[in-house]
Chain A
Amino acid sequence: MHAQGVAGVVDRVAARYRRDPTCMVQILREIQEACDWISPEAIDRLQATLGLPRTKVEGVAGFYSFFYLNPRGRYRILFSDNITDRMLGSKALIDRLCNSLWVELGKVSEDGLVSVAQTACTGLCDQGPALLVNNYAIGGLTPQRIDEIAELIRSRTPLPEWPAEYFRVEDNIRRTDILLGSELTPGDALRAARARAPDEGLMASNMRSWREGLPTGLGGPVAVLDEIKRANLRGRGGAGFITGLKWEACRNAPLKAGQQRIVVCNADEGEPGTFKDRVLLNTYPDLVFEGMTVAAYAVGATRGFVYLRGEYRYLLDRLNAVLAERRRANLLGADILGNPGADFDIEIHVGAGAYVCGEESALIESLEGKRGTPRNRPPFPVTNGYLDQPTIVNNVETFAAAAMIALKGGDWYAGIGTKHSAGTKILSVSGDCERPGIYEYPFGVSVRQVLHDCGARDTQAVQVSGPSGICVAADEFDRIIGFEDIPTAGAFTVFDHSRDMFEVARNYVHFFQHESCGFCTPCRVGTSLLKNLMDKLHNGAGSPYDFAEIENLNRLLQSMSHCGLGHTACNPVLDTIAKFRPAYEKHMIHSEFTPAFDLDRELAEARQMTGRDDAGAHLASVHGGRA
């Protein structure tokens, strides 16, 4: 693009975001959408416009996978590289597209038109293999569709003119319960929340209503908080923190002058194998926004954000339309439902390819326009969150549940599920089964039941809650989904007996290595070491020595890492070693330490350059395994 054109784009985008540096990630995203990449000229202009040092802009842009500081073509293809995509044959499709377009994986074509690369799970595991083209998702890939895509690119057909059915994402809802089966009329949960009378004795603490100091809305907020507590609602994002306590801590956190309370909906959904938030936002956005507004009411917040993962960019316009409709209906904005002082609005921030931004403090950093590095805690977001203000961060599903609790009450909700796990859980089922998709169950459902319902046969293992969760083997299928047994953020990935569980774990380790934010030493270096070890086993150089190394790395990552990503990075390996030892034994070819270095493999580049692959161009492989 012409230099003047770039400057025009930067000025226009920056102006729309009020030249606010906290919107940096959004500004960079829009610049890239218009210019295909973020050029040095664009950074120059942006730095001047926002009045920031260049290092600041470049540091942020360099953090996110979806921002390109080098040209990546007009068409930027990213194949989803979750294990489920691989199981569905993504590798052959990638090769097919690369061959057809004459481009090497990871590189840009000679004519600068297109690049093909891989990315972490895009949240379409129930309809893979999937890819993103300029961050718009296409699922259900077949060889035929790949050929069509290649043709569209060759003919330089603009993306808006590509067949609309490519971009259709199915919900695949297979089992509904209180959330997915609800038919909430927008506003009803809020009206119910307002109408809730306070319990005896709660009147005093009720004096702080929605807007600090105003004695309006008496009774409502604390009564709602009370219902949430009574419901025994726990967070659905993985950690299972008690929602009522989090909200109360935020409500009770003191505000400094000029501060407000903030409600953040965590829609980063980056855990490979999880896609239920996609469906909630696609088909139940009012339920989620209503839950956020209920939360705002309960904690006294006036500003809300949805942090939408970059892979769900295609949902943005529709979600903004729903927000606009809610404003028209006076369910957002000033004096909500005619309640004076009840002010709350929601804006959507789109992420840019960084799993770690699902971690709540990294998410807040990203919302502030920074690199997504987890913060030092304490202090916690409930007291010092977005721009140092009291902030609650909750998962999409948590808010959906909160809306139903506001409507129907805490006792109703607590009566569903088990004693320790109230309510329902939405599972994202994928992998080796007949009916992948979304299943909502009351807590307490057994793994076996879910396997039965989704039509899984000959199942070897289920990875529950994604790579950072646990791998469940056949003798554990009677275990139940719930905080007392197998907690989960929702992923439920099924593997039948044809799958190599070692390769599953290796895929997950590559994921963590790619997604480590790089802030702390143990995770930045440790995940790379772990990846190298798994690749070493894969390459046939494994020995018991490497097992001991993996165990040492695990201890180090668990004890020394800064955030949950590092803490859980070894989980998939440890679980599969413990439960699927034979899958590893196959790779433990040597009894003594064997170096990872393989001279023959190192010569691959020379072979490629000389176009040779005959026997004379190879050394005998020292590892005796796959060279």
Chain B
Amino acid sequence: MSQSFVLDGKGIPFEDGQTILQAAGNAGVFIPHLCFHPEFKPHGSCKLCTVKVNGRHTASCTMRAMPGMVVESNTEELNGERRALTQMLFVEGNHFCPSCEKSGNCQLQATAYHLGMMSPHFDHFFPNRAVDASHPEFLLDFNRCILCSLCVRASRDVDGKNVFALSGRGIKTHLIVNAKSGRLADTDFSLADKAASVCPVGVILRKRQGFAVPIGERRFDKAPIEASAKEA
């Protein structure tokens, strides 16, 4: 199949049914994204992957590629907007990167670096979110949840368990677990679950693994996030 569209002036081939983000990734072009993961159905909620298709903003993780589309992505305007969204995610939760076990492996942090985010810009919300340390193997630090729903999709679609879900609405949207007590220990969550390894930030953390890989030698310390384009 030799269909293609134009992304920032470059021809990108694609196959039927592929999204803009997937096709770009295959061609080695990185488009920032947080709620997208190649193994799951796209969600389209974080909006980091927003591009302009024929002049109109649209999420590239959900928009199917079509022949002849003219797509802008790596522009000052779009990167500025993405930076603002990243800043929003930072101020909405409580992110203290220097003390976070995910630092260096965190997609939110890496995306912020990629976009040249120098400050949170907006006033912090400082929400009150409890930590759930009930589970013998895992810690849930909801302070860092960006509501990408990857754990929800992984648990539901791969693990067949529905351990996680979103509840609440608006700014009060939050993650819940599948137990009357509301505690992870009272669910059937386990180490082998796909959901245990998909969180892009530092919410779902393995206990007793703290800083096994030292800061400075972690994934995004070695190569910036834009080097991982092919993984989309």
Contact = CB atoms under 8 A, between A and B. Distances in A.
Interface of A: 40, 43-44, 53-56, 58-59, 61-65, 354, 371, 376, 378, 513-522, 524-529, 532, 552, 555-556, 559-562, 596-597
Given A55-B177, A521-B88, A513 B81 contact: no
26 contacts: A44-B180, A58-B165, A58-B176, A59-B166, A65-B169, A376-B59, A513-B171, A516-B170, A518-B169, A518-B170, A518-B171, A520-B45, A521-B46, A521-B47, A522-B88, A525-B91, A527-B170, A527-B171, A528-B92, A529-B88, A529-B123, A556-B85, A559-B81, A560-B47, A561-B47, A562-B59
A527 B171 CA distance: 9
Contact of A518 (B84, B85, B162, B168): B168
A138 to B, nearest CB: 26
Which of B85, B161, B179 lies at the interface centre, i.e. has the most chain A CB atoms within 10 A of its CB?
B85
Nearest to B90: A525
Contacts of B167: 55, 58-59, 61-63
B125 A62 contact: no
Contacts of B172: 518
Given A517-B169, A559-B57, A53 B178 contact: yes
Most chain-A Cβ atoms within 10 A of its Cβ — which of B45, B168, B170? B170
Interface string B86-102: 00110110000000000
Interface of B: 42, 44-48, 50, 57, 59, 62, 64, 81, 84-85, 88-89, 91-92, 122-123, 125, 146-147, 161-173, 176-180
A521 B89 contact: yes
B50 A559 contact: yes
Given A61-B167, A62-B167, A525-B88, 17 more contacts: A44-B180, A56-B165, A62-B169, A65-B169, A371-B166, A515-B170, A516-B171, A517-B170, A520-B45, A521-B45, A521-B46, A521-B48, A525-B171, A528-B125, A528-B171, A529-B88, A529-B123
B50 A55 contact: no
Contacts of A65: 169
Contact of B123 (A40, A519, A532): A532
A54 B163 CA distance: 9
B55 to A, nearest CB: 11
Contacts, number: 119
A43 B181 CA distance: 12
A289 to B, nearest CB: 31
A524 B168 CA distance: 12
A354 to B, nearest CB: 7
A196 B156 CA distance: 51
Nearest to B173: A518
Nearest to A528: B171
A459 B127 CA distance: 42
A562 B45 CA distance: 8
Contacts of B173: 518-519, 524
B112 to A, nearest CB: 14
A49 to B, nearest CB: 15
A601 B219 CA distance: 44
A55 B85 contact: no
Contacts of A515: 170
A59 to B, nearest CB: 4
Nearest to B62: A376
A513 B84 contact: no
Contacts of A43: 180
B170 A522 contact: no
Contacts of A520: 44-47
The 9 closest A-B pairs by CB, nearest first: A62-B167, A55-B165, A518-B173, A53-B162, A525-B88, A59-B165, A516-B170, A518-B170, A559-B57
Contacts of A63: 167-169
A560 B44 contact: no
Contacts of A53: 161-162, 165, 178
Given A55-B163, A59-B165, A532-B123, A521 B85 contact: yes
A518 B166 CA distance: 10
Contacts of B44: 376, 520, 562
B64 to A, nearest CB: 8
A354 B168 CA distance: 12
A513 B178 contact: no
Contacts of B165: 53, 55-56, 58-59
B159 to A, nearest CB: 12
A560 B92 contact: no
Contacts of B162: 53, 55-56
B47 A514 contact: no
Contacts of B46: 520-521
Contact of A524 (B42, B59, B161, B171): B171
Given A376-B62, A520-B45, A525-B91, A54 B180 contact: yes
Contacts of A514: 170
B170 A513 contact: yes
Contacts of B169: 62-65, 354, 371, 516-518
A55 B89 contact: no
Among B62, B88, B178, the most chain A Cβ lie within 10 Å of the Cβ of: B88
A529 B87 CA distance: 12
A223 B178 CA distance: 53
